[in-house]
Amino acid sequence: MRVRALALALALSPAAAFAQDALPAARRGDFGVRYWLSTGETKISHNAQGLDPTLGDPTSVLLYENLDANGLELFGRQNFRNNLFLKGTLGVGQINRGSFDDEDFNLGQVKFSDTTSSVTQGGIGYGTLDFGYQWVLRGGAVSLGVFAGFTQWTEDVDAYGATDHMGFIGGDISRDTLVISNKVRWRALRVGFAGDFAFGSRLRLSLDLAVSPYAKLRNEDSHHLRTDLGPVPNIIDEGEGWGVQWDAELRYEIMRRTELGIGLRYWYLEAREGTTRFTNVPGTAEAPIVDFYSMRTGVTVGLRRTW
């Protein structure tokens, strides 16, 4: 009987240990590194009819698209005893390829110019900092939080060569010629929801959903071959708008307090109002922005250490 009792105790001990560990304890914080494989685009258009009534509305439409990039970031979070938390992300990346389309219109939206260039290089940089309050439930298996914070997101690209679809610029431009550079910078407020949900002892789902009720835009456009526009940057866009940023990540504890995660990310910011300024034109000529947005989306893979 004693042997059977001992055998039964040994057989049940792993199950008992698993049951005790099924709901992980509340965590004080984490720190990690994450890779972001993404694609993005930026669209810019303005109405210059106030400067020349024979032009269209929009007058010029610039589209940077299929901007494939690799990014690497550091991230972390610290939870405090009074249920407050602080979290942040800091990342940089390289844009590897993409395309640039430039269309211009006369009154009645009659297109008179259409060119396509290749984006061969560029960079991205971004960061977020949020401060919030959380409710920890079921001994740490679930945490629900609200936060407010700030984000900055910049992208700069160089486009080379041009295919002249309508003959307006006098023919194609060689692919080794730098025709345009663009640098967009967004600074925005963030308010949102952060959730963390445990499924057993090792699997977790994290959600970070943020709305930007106010976003500030500055964009520098450098047309290197346009001598009529003067020194670069020769066109500057400034505006205000809104946006959304969300992340979802599924994490698995590969060893004690070390987690591997894979996720999805989507960022979108747009300017609802603003002006395009031709910096070297006498009288500081300005035109209202018709459409300006930046979007980036992709998959993430991260490794984090918790405590």
> Domain ranges in the chain?
31-306
* pLDDT > 60? residue 188: yes
Confidence of residue 99 (pLDDT cuts 50, 70, 90): very high
Confidence of residue 8 (pLDDT cuts 50, 70, 90): very low
The span from the CA of 274 to the CA of 284, in Å, is 15
Q: Which two tokens stand for residue 241?
A: 């708008």
Strand partners, 106: 55, 110
Type of residue found at 89: T
* pLDDT > 60? residue 5: no
The span from the CA of 125 to the CA of 93, in Å, is 6
Mean pLDDT of the region 223-231: 90
pLDDT at 26: 60
* pLDDT > 70? residue 67: yes
pLDDT at 25: 55
Closest to 248 measured CA to CA, from 231, 230, 233, 261: 261
Mean pLDDT of the region 2-16: 40
pLDDT digits (tens, 9 = 90+) for 27-49: 789 999 999 999 999 999 999 99
How would CATH label the architecture of 31-306? Beta Barrel (2.40)
Give percent of the chain above pLDDT 90.
Answer: 84
pLDDT at 280: 84
Cis peptide before 53 (omega within 30 of 0): no
* pLDDT > 60? residue 18: no
pLDDT digits (tens, 9 = 90+) for 251-300: 999 999 999 999 999 999 999 999 999 988 776 679 999 999 999 999 99
* pLDDT > 60? residue 9: no
**CA angle (293, 114, 233) in 5-degree steps:** 55
Mean pLDDT of the region 138-152: 94
pLDDT at 1: 42
Closest to 73 measured CA to CA, from 294, 270, 261, 295: 261
Q: Which two tokens stand for residue 139?
A: 């001994």
**CA angle (285, 291, 293) in 5-degree steps:** 115
Mean pLDDT for the chain overall: 91
Rg over CA atoms, the chain: 26
Confidence of residue 24 (pLDDT cuts 50, 70, 90): low
Q: How many alpha carbons fall within 13 Å on the CB side of residue 127? A: 3
* pLDDT > 70? residue 85: yes
**pTM > 0.85: yes or no:** yes
Cis peptide before 233 (omega within 30 of 0): yes
Based on the number of CB atoms within 10 Å of its own CB, is 275 exposed (0-12), middle (13-18) or buried (19 or more)?
A: middle
* Biggest CA-to-CA distance, the chain: 101
pLDDT at 227: 87
Q: Which two tokens stand for residue 84?
A: 């407050």
Mean pLDDT of the region 54-69: 97
